[in-house]
Chains A and B, each alone.
Chain A
Amino acid sequence: GQQLNQSPQSMFIQEGEDVSMNCTSSSIFNTWLWYKQDPGEGPVLLIALYKAGELTSNGRLTAQFGITRKDSFLNISASIPSDVGIYFCAGQRNAGGTSYGKLTFGQGTILTVHP
């Protein structure tokens, strides 16, 4: 089946540092999404990207949809302790119509921020 390769698997950083993580795929997706999962919770959508080359920001988060549509990266600037969690990339193919299809997820990046 399709796989998204997400790296790094884990990161240990100091508060205030910038963070970068990325995802690559062997196949094309119409949409790339980045989710964050806090302990005991389900994934929450952070950023959605719809066009190749698109660069989108959400506060301290910036994500880009790769030109080839096979990759994406997420940057977090000036990290704070509450950024701790698991970050997942996900790809989606939009078939149009009234219903969208499944999300294909990467393996996740575990982020630890030391105060």
Chain B
Amino acid sequence: EAGVTQFPSHSVIEKGQTVTLRCDPISGHDNLYWYRRVMGKEIKFLLHFVKESKQDESGMPNNRFLAERTGGTYSTLKVQPAELEDSGVYFCASSPLNLRGAVRADTQYFGPGTRLTVL
């Protein structure tokens, strides 16, 4: 079974340009999360989709970031216009719904990340 995949693996853009990151979750996983790690700091939550709906977008830095998950499958994260402080590694993670309602942590499976550099 394929894991979480992300594209591109690296992106180098100039300040003011637009970049779109893509995440393909594990097939059948309805939960999809975006996280970001700025160099040397903690991995920070950006937002959470359940199917195509945004469950929690409290971590989105500002309105230059737009995430979509049309059809509840893959997701895109667009940064427009990019700023220097947007540089970092963007991770996507997915997990299945907890259909039994058990109070256990879900195992979020992470993709390899997209390393974004804004010059």
Number of interface residues of B (CB under 8 A): 33
A40 vs B10: C-alpha distance when bound (angstroms) = 11
Q: Does A72 make an interface contact (CB < 8 A)?
A: no
Evaluate contact between B56 and A100: CB separation under 8 angstroms: no
Interface centre among B30, B41, B105, B112, by most chain A C-beta atoms within 10 angstroms, is B105
User: Contacting A105 at CB < 8 Å: which of B42, B101, B105?
Assistant: B42
Q: List CB contacts (< 8 Å) of B1-53 with chain A.
A: 4, 30-31, 33, 35, 40-45, 48, 50
- The residues of A that contact B31 with a CB separation of less than 8 Å are 99-100
Knowing A40-B112, A99-B31, A102-B59 touch, does A94 contact B103 (C-beta < 8 A)?
A: yes
User: Contacting A42 at CB < 8 Å: which of B41, B93, B97, B99?
Assistant: B93
The majority secondary structure among interface residues of chain B is: loop
Knowing A98-B97, A99-B31, A99-B50 touch, does A43 contact B42 (C-beta < 8 A)?
A: no
- The residues of B that contact A104 with a CB separation of less than 8 Å are 45
Evaluate contact between A107 and B42: CB separation under 8 angstroms: yes
B115 (CB) vs chain A CBs: closest residue: A40
Knowing A42-B110, A42-B111, A43-B110 touch, does A94 contact B41 (C-beta < 8 A)?
A: no
- The residues of A that contact B48 with a CB separation of less than 8 Å are 99, 101-102
- The residues of A that contact B35 with a CB separation of less than 8 Å are 103, 105
A43 vs B92: C-alpha distance when bound (angstroms) = 10
Knowing A43-B110, A92-B105, A94-B104 touch, does A103 contact B4 (C-beta < 8 A)?
A: no
A108 vs B91: C-alpha distance when bound (angstroms) = 15
Tell me the minimal C-beta distance from B79 to chain A in angstroms.
19
Evaluate contact between A33 and B43: CB separation under 8 angstroms: no
Evaluate contact between B112 and A42: CB separation under 8 angstroms: yes
A3 (CB) vs chain B CBs: closest residue: B42
Tell me the minimal C-beta distance from B118 to chain A in angstroms.
21
17 pairs of residues in contact across A and B, judged by CB atoms under 8 Å: A6-B42, A40-B112, A42-B4, A43-B110, A50-B104, A88-B42, A94-B103, A94-B104, A98-B97, A99-B55, A100-B31, A102-B45, A103-B35, A104-B45, A105-B42, A106-B42, A108-B42
A-to-B contact residues, CB < 8 Å: 3-4, 6, 30-31, 33, 35, 40-45, 48, 50, 88, 90, 92, 94, 96-108
